[in-house]
Chain A
Amino acid sequence: MSEPILRVKDVHKSFDETGVLHGVSLDIREGEVVVIVGPSGCGKSTLLRCINGLETIDRGEIFLRGEKISGRTKDLHLVRQKIGMVFQSYDLFPHMKVMDNLLLGPVRALGRPREEAEKEAMEMLARVGLREKADVYPRTLSGGQKQRVALVRAMMMHPEILLLDEITAALDPEMVSEVLNVVIDLARGGMTMAIVTHEMRFAEAVADEVLFLEDGVVVEQGPPEKFFHAPETERAQQFLKSFTYSFKKSEVQPKNNPED
């Protein structure tokens, strides 16, 4: 089996004495999509933030293509150039037009020629259906459009792996699918990703592997078919149950529904 692109080994992290991650390990191979699910506050987002060095870890190690990236303080930006990340709150740079948002990383951080990067940016914008938005400021975009631009911005860096941190959590429901479709498209294109999400059907559709995190530990891990339909642990069962609504109404008033 090939060496994983990302290897997270026994990572511990706490904030002011409060433990958030208690020894999380995870391997992600090239082209693999790992979806991390779990109740709020279980440490999912923290895990992603530790991977690209936004948080330092207390114990354990993180490797990118065999190179240790945890515990690094120098040239962290070189590591981050290889790890794309998109956040919940679509954080485009408000003082720049969409195109300039997309070019900042490739041109300034990677030193790529502007024309070439611009051409690629236009192609990618077209792919996510935002070709005509290159010249507008982010404030004129809807949430879904902003988040698609944010995805393109991360992809413009040609990252080895993309981390998505609840990227649809702040969106109006009708905009969720336009963003998730882009992610599914990326997955089909072979992008390696670690995705934190609360959209279970999306998780099932996109994941090669599901990681169920609770209280900072991996409780269950496996392929999506197994995790979503036959979870082994009781905690995973409980968690998945919380996503299915049960309509009590029809039970209380069966007469209102004569077809039943």
Chain B
Amino acid sequence: MQDSGIAILFKGINFQRLLGGLWVTLRIALISIGLSCVLGLLFGLLMLSRRKIAQVFCRVWLEIVRFMPQLVLLYIVYFGFARMFGWDLDGETSGILVFTFWGAAEMGDLIRGALTSIPLHQTESAAAIGLTQWQIYRHVLIPQMLRRLLPQAINLSTRIIKTTALVKMINVIEVLKVGQQIIGQFYRSPDAAFWIYFVIFLLYFLVCWPISMLAKRLEKKWA
């Protein structure tokens, strides 16, 4: 017999399966975002380094990230590295690696931008009241930097969350893949695909929307 799409969703443990898939999605995204923040800070500071070699290194990294589709990067790591170096990384690890590689570079660029947007006079005024270099960063530069950075960083985070859908191509069973499995099971139902994908859309929306609202609110508060 044919089930209507919505009924399928609540049949058996289908919905729980979708939520389980969403958790995989979020796990990959959150770990990648976390690592991107830490490495991005280093990357951003490296970009500001006066050493030519550091600048070239960052430039190349950033350009690769900008021009290379994330899917290609995923394939290189997941399939390429296994063959080339015998690194048998599972899909999730490969995904985290690629999204961190991407996120760190973009986050670094945002951090660099936020740091350089603060006028030199702020540093000098802070130095003039006898603060140490660390105190200048801690009380004057970083707070101002965060105010500029946070909305953009949150925006990048939602992009990373969305893009994790690609890991389904390297055999990770995340929310989209789970959805497809369910649709496959109920291939007779004419509207299963629509409803399942619609619910997946809603799930993504429910994750990303509050985050983006937070960014807007922070932006307003600090304007």
| A contact set with B: CB distance below 8 Å | 52, 54, 76-78, 80-87, 89, 91-95, 104-105, 108-110, 150, 153-154, 156-157
Contacts and interface: CB of A to CB of B under 8 A. Distances in A.
B139 interface: yes
Contacts of B130: 77-78, 80-82, 105, 109-110, 157
B121 A85 contact: no
A219 B96 CA distance: 67
B122 A93 contact: yes
Interface of B: 119, 121-122, 124-133, 135, 139-140, 143-144, 147, 222
A248 B18 CA distance: 87
Nearest to B133: A77
Contacts of A93: 122, 125-126, 139-140, 144
A69 to B, nearest CB: 13
Contacts, number: 71
A105 B131 contact: yes
B135 A89 contact: no
A63 to B, nearest CB: 18
A80 B121 contact: no
Contacts of B144: 93-95
Contacts of B147: 95
A260 to B, nearest CB: 49
Nearest to A76: B127
Contact of A109 (B122, B125, B129, B222): B129
Contacts of B143: 95
B140 A52 contact: no
A145 B143 CA distance: 24
A84 B129 CA distance: 7
B125 A108 contact: no
B131 A108 contact: yes
Contacts of A109: 129-132, 135
Given A80-B130, A95-B144, A108 B135 contact: yes
Contacts of B135: 77, 108-109
A87 B125 contact: yes
A104 B131 contact: yes
10 closest Cβ pairs, A-B complex: A81-B130, A105-B129, A91-B125, A85-B128, A109-B130, A91-B121, A80-B130, A77-B132, A77-B130, A95-B143
Nearest to B143: A95
B140 to A, nearest CB: 6
A54 B121 CA distance: 11
A84 B128 contact: yes
Nearest to A75: B132
B129 A153 contact: yes
B122 A52 contact: no
A108 B139 contact: yes
Contacts of B122: 91, 93
Nearest to B129: A105
Given A89-B121, A92-B125, A93-B125, 9 more contacts: A78-B130, A80-B129, A81-B130, A85-B128, A86-B128, A95-B147, A95-B222, A104-B129, A108-B135
